[in-house]
Amino acid sequence: MVKRAAFPFLVKIEKSLIPGSPLINYVLLTTELLYRFQTYYFLGIDARPYTFSYSELRTATDDFSPSNKLGEGGFGPVYKGTLIDGRVIAVKQLSVASQQGNIQFVTEIATISSVQHRNLVKLYGCCTEGGKRLLVYEYLENGSLDHALFEQRSLNLDWSTRFDICMGIARGIAYLHEESRLRIVHRDVKASNILLDSDFIPKISDFGLAKLYDDKKTHLSTRVAGTYGYLAPEYAMRGHLTEKVDVFSFGVVALELVSGRPNADSSLEEEKLYLLEWAWHLHENERDIQLVDSKLSEYSEEEVKRVIGVGLLCSQASPMLRPSMSRVVAMLSGDAEVSTITSRPGYLSDWKFDDKTSFMSDIETEGIDTRPYNFTESTSMFDDSQPSPVLATVPMLQDSSIRE
């Protein structure tokens, strides 16, 4: 594991950037990139991505043709392209050269370039020519998981595919937490950040909020960043960050996979409005199986109950009660028993879901990106319809991506 003292990853370059000075900021950004990659190099990690010229990417995307536009996310537009060597790519373009955008750009490059796993999206390279900010990824044919599950024209994923997706996501997060040379907390695990390839193998994407920390530290205290609906309570309320924050988010995604519905849905009756509440209600009344998506005509009841049990365990109020992701993988695969769940988390009854001040008063709200539920913009890499939905807590049915 990497000692944080030897890995000053979170250099605050935003203090150095000068508004209205793109050339100076370009030099500062390039210097920071070199610094971070050099740090990785001394740790024995080759984190230096390939650098594309802007002309290469213009050619690949047919001059960023509207016909090649895959969607518009919080980062900026995303275009499909084809390189000269035949590789199909997704080009993610930073539309606003903000200080925070620059930091997330650098963080994403440095983090994703240092890890390799079949369940993590592959970064081919980047472009910083002339102050431009572009990331070049592998193109994933089946788009994001939220599209596959929640849209009217969804892909109608069968149970076997959903279970495999759940396993793949769990393995990817377990790698970040326990198997990578770097200890990484993703901080924004959600359905729209899970991309699916042609074989529906899930790939975790969007590492702009990722954090590294020393395994000898119990937690980090940090400003809140992420997406409402997937935020662990201790993190949302106090900025208390451990890998168990990702475990909580995974639990929400696991329940979404079973139910085929977002974690908050205003079209449903009140008792079903919030997925976590509804799942706990069914569990307490021994009716777990009623959570299953009505579109699933066939499924393994044993596997379904296993995934629901794991999802409820992962969404426990106390991080100490949540399993590690390696334990999650073992429970999902049947190599370990799913631990007994005693009672519903207190936050489901303690928080006033219709009063956003009860949730927001204790967290810093700077940088909150608030969008209506049915807004056409999303943070997903391949996205041009409604965003990954939100929780339960606040503001009512708004997708809010909080960026540190």
Domain ranges across the chain: 4-138, 145-402
Tokens 């907390």 found at: 185
For residue 58, give Cα distances in angstroms to 55, 76, 83, 327. Answer: 5, 16, 10, 45
pLDDT at 389: 37
Q: What is the pLDDT along the chain (404 residues), one digit of tens a residue?
A: 333 333 333 344 444 445 555 555 555 555 555 555 544 443 444 556 789 999 999 999 999 999 999 988 767 899 999 999 999 999 998 875 556 677 778 878 888 888 899 999 999 999 988 878 899 999 999 999 999 999 866 688 999 999 999 999 999 999 999 998 888 999 999 999 999 999 999 999 988 788 776 554 444 545 566 687 898 888 888 888 899 999 999 999 999 999 999 998 888 888 898 999 999 999 999 999 999 999 999 999 999 999 999 999 999 999 999 999 999 999 999 999 998 876 788 777 655 444 443 333 333 433 333 332 222 334 455 444 333 333 333 322 333 444 44
Q: Specify the CATH architecture of the domain 4-138.
A: 2-Layer Sandwich (3.30)
pLDDT at 327: 98
Q: 328, 336 in Cβ contact below 8 A?
A: no
Q: What is the DSSP letter of 298?
A: S
pLDDT at 236: 83
Q: Cα(71)–Cα(80) distance, rounded to whole angstroms?
A: 10
Q: 151, 385 in Cβ contact below 8 A?
A: yes
What residues form DSSP beta bridges with 81? 89
The residue among 404, 385, 393 whose CA lies nearest residue 191 is: 385
pLDDT at 302: 97
DSSP per residue, 215-254: TTSS-EE----EETTS--HHHHHH-EE-THHHHHHHHHHH
- Give the chain's radius of gyration (CA, Å): 20
**Element housing 54 (H / E):** helix 54-60
pLDDT at 360: 37
User: Going edge to edge, which strands form the sheet with 368-372?
Assistant: 226-227, 398-402, 368-372
Q: Cα(180)–Cα(397) distance, rounded to whole angstroms?
A: 36
What residues form DSSP beta bridges with 123? 137
The SS3 assignment for 78 reads strand
The residue among 194, 49, 21, 61 whose CA lies nearest residue 111 is: 49
For 86-210, where are the alpha helices, taking DSSP H only?
A: 99-112, 145-150, 159-174
The SS3 assignment for 399 reads strand
Q: 244, 303 in Cβ contact below 8 A?
A: no
Selected from 3.20.20.105, 1.10.510.10, 3.40.1350.10, 3.40.640.10, the CATH number assigned to the domain covering 145-402 reads: 1.10.510.10
pLDDT at 235: 84
What residues form DSSP beta bridges with 134? 93, 127
Q: Cα(348)–Cα(274) distance, rounded to whole angstroms?
A: 10
Q: 83, 61 in Cβ contact below 8 A?
A: no
Q: Cα(359)–Cα(402) distance, rounded to whole angstroms?
A: 14
Q: Cα(305)–Cα(216) distance, rounded to whole angstroms?
A: 35
Q: Which two tokens stand for residue 207?
A: 């590492």
Which amino acid is residue 171, in one-letter code?
R
Selecting among 146, 188, 246, 383, the annotated active-site residue is: 188
The SS3 assignment for 47 reads coil
Q: Is 293 assigned a catalytic role?
A: no
How far apart, in Å, do the first and last CA atoms of the chain sit? 25
The residue among 248, 239, 251 whose CA lies nearest residue 211 is: 239
Tokens 């296993």 found at: 306
